[in-house]
Amino acid sequence: MATEQPAQRSPIHVLIIGYVWPEPRSSAASGHVMQLIDCFLEQGWQITFASAATEGEHKADLAALGITEVAIALNHSSFDAFIRELQPDVVVFDQFLMEEQFGWRVEKHCPNALRLLESSDLQSLRHARHQAVKERLDGKPDADLTDYFQTSRDQLFTRMATTDLAQREIAAIHRSDLSLMVSDVEIGLLTELFSVPAAQLHWVPLLVRERRDVPICPQRFEDRAHFITIGNFRHAPNWDAVLWLKNTVWPLIRAQLPSAQVHVYGAYTPPKAAALHNAAQGFHIMNWAEDALEVMGAARVSLAPLRFGAGIKGKIIDAMICGTPTVTTPIGAEAMHDELAFPGAVACDAQGLADAAVSLYSDQGRWEHAQRDGWQLLPARFGHDRHCAVLIERILLLRATLQAHRTANFTGAMLRHHQHKSTQYMSQWIEAKNKNA
């Protein structure tokens, strides 16, 4: 007698709506999207990636991974037909702007799809810090920001809460079934000060596989040379950091190490950045790095003098992978190491950053200790396998209990009812206007 075979379950179909087409070698945000994609592919899930953005020159080859690519339009009913036919099981909105634009359409045509919001950082936090830095500098680029770096969470809340950006971003978090946050510090900010239920948030930081899966970097102190800083020039915190480094921090380092060089790498180097190149001062603008790990692994110390920002820092992750100690600010170190030692040094002012950089560059024992700290931190906090397993388990549980989860999220239902109606009518008005133009 033949044994009845169990019915084979269809793989879950994930639609990712990208703010941009991912460029993992240009930004940590795109790198995180690709890490999520890796998690889904490991489960055998089917993935469609859709975006209204123009393709960049460093776009990832999604098709080579078996991912279907679809170009979509903003404020256009063609998306309705697309989503109605696709009928994904899970929809990931890359940044809250995509949830604002497409969330109501997904809910209308795929009401049972699990809606996830991918937040590479809390944009309203980054914006609030940027404004605070502008106010404190007030035309004085060398102003002491020590007290700013010690800003309390209550002060951050006061600065953020009245902004349009925070109200829009946190409303999108409420409306989504689950928001994927890279920073556990930001999860605390949202739950404790903005009253976002913990059930609406999930911590999934930048992910790192075992070291055997990454290129081998020169490990010895004596095999390394020069300082390095790296980051997408289009990202405001990175550009500000380069300016602060060039004008204030680097001269202090050169005063102690007259022959020192810093190599500045970044995607999409604008003319204003290229103009900072000065070989006589040891300040070298190197443009885009084909392989960030290769150039990071050749350097002795990484500099990340970030005065504002949010999320967690891909450049510091890359430095740890390569065994390169980092000198940064409290903004750079935020959510990176928890109770473990930071793999380098953290300082609040230009002189402190310079002194720490010189010490790490010159002191082999301290340098080797920082390198070991980084290698211990990576698996403890950023391990790919552990975080992927927990994320997949959370997604499967939510799909199985979706209606109860949504019923418990009354604030989200209320916001969807009101905000999506206004967004829907605005989008339809724009589409009608464009047709008549």
- pLDDT digits 0-9 by tens, 365-392: 999 999 999 999 999 999 999 999 999 9
Q: Say what the pLDDT of residue 96 is.
A: 96
Residues 6+ apart with CB under 8 A from 170: 124, 190, 194, 196
Q: How many domains does one find in the chain?
A: 2
Read off the amino acid at residue 346: V
Least Cα distance to 166 among 130, 207, 124, 133 occurs for 124
d(CA 63, CA 49): 10
Mean pLDDT over the full length of the chain: 92
Residue 353 and residue 237 in one domain: yes
181 falls within a domain = yes
305 falls within a domain = yes
Listed range (17-21, 39-43, 94-98, 142-146) with the worst mean pLDDT: 142-146
5 has pLDDT over 50? no
Residue 142 and residue 123 in one domain: yes
173 has pLDDT over 90? yes
110 falls within a domain = yes
149 falls within a domain = yes
194 has pLDDT over 80? yes
Q: Say what the pLDDT of residue 267 is.
A: 84
6 falls within a domain = no
Q: Say what the pLDDT of residue 433 is.
A: 67
- Domain hosting residue 289, numbered range: 212-382
CA distances from 10 to 48, 49, 365 (A): 15, 19, 55
d(CA 417, CA 175): 10
Last residue of a domain, one of 363, 382, 401: 382
Q: Can you say whether the dihedral through the CA atoms of 254, 256, 259, 261 is positive or negative? A: negative
User: Using 50, 70 and 90 to split pLDDT, how confident is the model at 431?
Assistant: low
3-state secondary structure the chain: CCCCCCCCCCCCEEEEEECCCCCCCCCHHHHHHHHHHHHHHHCCCEEEEEECCCCCCCCCCCHHHCCEEEECCCCCCHHHHHHHHHCCCEEEEECHHHHHHHHHHHHHHCCCCEEEEEECCCHHHHHHHHHHHHHHHCCCCCCCCHHHHCCCHHHHHHHHHCCHHHHHHHHHHHHCCEEEECCHHHHHHHHHHCCCCHHHEEECCCCECCHHHCCCCCCCHHHCCCEEEECCCCCHHHHHHHHHHHHHHHHHHHHHCCCCCEEEECCCCCHHHHCCCEHHHCEEEEECCCCHHHHHHHCCEEEECCCCCCCCCHHHHHHHHCCCCEEECHHHHCCCCCCCCCCEEECCCHHHHHHHHHHHHHCHHHHHHHHHHHHHHHHHHHEHHHHHHHHHHHHHHHHHCHHHHHHHCHHHHHHHHHHHHHHHHHHHHHHHHHHHC
Q: Say what the pLDDT of residue 288 is.
A: 85
Q: Say what the pLDDT of residue 418 is.
A: 77
5 falls within a domain = no
CATH code where residue 365 lies: 3.40.50.2000
2 falls within a domain = no
User: Using 50, 70 and 90 to split pLDDT, how confident is the model at 428?
Assistant: low
CA distances from 25 to 106, 212, 289, 313, 382 (A): 30, 20, 8, 14, 19
CB 324 within 8 A of CB 218: no
Last residue of a domain, one of 350, 366, 382: 382
Q: Which residue has the higher pLDDT, 422 or 48?
A: 48
Rg (CA), the chain: 23
Residue 264 and residue 133 in one domain: no
138 has pLDDT over 50? yes
The model's pTM: 0.91
435 has pLDDT over 80? no
436 falls within a domain = no
User: Using 50, 70 and 90 to split pLDDT, how confident is the model at 135?
Assistant: very high
Q: Say what the pLDDT of residue 423 is.
A: 63
Residue 159 and residue 184 in one domain: yes
Residue 367 and residue 390 in one domain: no
Q: Say what the pLDDT of residue 10 is.
A: 75
State CA 255 to chain mean position distance: 34
Residue 333 and residue 226 in one domain: yes
Residue 105 and residue 199 in one domain: yes
CB 331 within 8 A of CB 363: no
Last residue of a domain, one of 345, 362, 382: 382
Residue 243 and residue 124 in one domain: no
Residue 86 and residue 145 in one domain: yes
Q: Say what the pLDDT of residue 3 is.
A: 47
Residue 242 and residue 360 in one domain: yes
Q: What percentage of the chain has pLDDT greater than the value 70? A: 92
User: Using 50, 70 and 90 to split pLDDT, how confident is the model at 213?
Assistant: very low
The predicted-structure confidence for 342-371, as pLDDT tens digits, reads as follows 999 999 999 999 999 999 999 999 999 999
Q: Say what the pLDDT of residue 6 is.
A: 42
Residue 53 and residue 105 in one domain: yes
Residue 49 and residue 185 in one domain: yes
Q: Which residue has the higher pLDDT, 430 or 236?
A: 236
CB 17 within 8 A of CB 51: yes
Q: Say what the pLDDT of residue 8 is.
A: 46
262 has pLDDT over 70? yes
